[in-house]
Amino acid sequence: MVRTTSVCGFWVLCCALAADAPASCAPEGGSPHAMARVLDGETLLLEDGREVRLIGALAPANAREAAQALEDITASRSVTLRYEGRREDRYGRVLAQVFAAREAGDPVWIQERLVSGGFARAYALPGNTSCLATLLAAEDAARSHRRGFWKTGFFHVLKADDTESLLTLSGQFAIVEGHVSSVSNTQRTTYLNFGADWKRDFTASLSRGLVEAAKDGTARVSAFAGHRIRVRGWIERRNGPMVVLNSLDEIEVLEENRPSADDSLGTEKQTGPR
């Protein structure tokens, strides 16, 4: 069943299919907690005084639409926190997958609901990556159907060959796609090079430990050379622009004849719970 709801003056689609989460991606559960209020589009305040960041779903800073969507999901409800790995950020905020109770039926997985509605984008942190694949699927549906900020143009997929624009986004979260020209390795790092000149062109990097720990990781990453992929993360200036990946799931292999997800460039400053 698909329903529509109005949030701050424009219509978005909310899919019932995105209501529930596989518990296996956040296997460590906790007891229900009473909600106090929504602080922003990705942060809740519990009645016990703790702040909870909705890990895996990155909403734009100071976006009232995202905060309103979160308020609609959590209105007059208790929430249950589930964990995978790292439980706090450096500011003491709780990092969890969060489920909102409802009168009938299974709890609503808040992160997936926000991402599928187009009010947040999927991301991962080290030790908290198992829910990413499901959130990426929700994001792809939101982007394809132009829901939420994908409809208004606030969210964009950026082009890897537009290095000048990418360099202006240092410190900001971005989704970038393009062709991988080569894959190279040092003792500690694997690099996905999107151009011939690594000193100027866009690059995505992963730790060698992360690659080698993944099933068939070395072969999988080496096979990206010559293919079009999409990656995500915070842009860093390391000679050319770079993103450091926290999971192989942050690499999406795209069909060669598939049109670019977005042909326009948009930016918004976002800082992650790092």
DSSP 248: G
pLDDT exceeds 90 at position 141 = yes
The number of domains in the chain is 2
pLDDT exceeds 50 at position 9 = no
The token pair at 217 is 């990781």
pLDDT exceeds 50 at position 5 = no
Looking at residue 12, its pLDDT comes to 34
How far is 209 from 39, CA to CA, in rounded Å?
36
Q: What is the pLDDT of residues 28-37, one digit of tens each?
A: 777 789 999 9
How far is 265 from 43, CA to CA, in rounded Å?
27
Average pLDDT, the chain: 85
Looking at residue 14, its pLDDT comes to 39
Least confident of 15-19, 75-79, 178-182, 186-190: 15-19
Q: Is residue 274 part of a domain?
A: no
Mark whether 144 and 162 lie in a shared domain: no
What range does the domain containing 207 cover?
158-253
pLDDT band at residue 257 using 50, 70 and 90 as cut-offs? low
More confident residue, 27 or 65: 65
Mark whether 18 and 54 lie in a shared domain: yes
Cα torsion 104, 56, 221, 141: sign: positive
Mark whether 186 and 137 lie in a shared domain: no
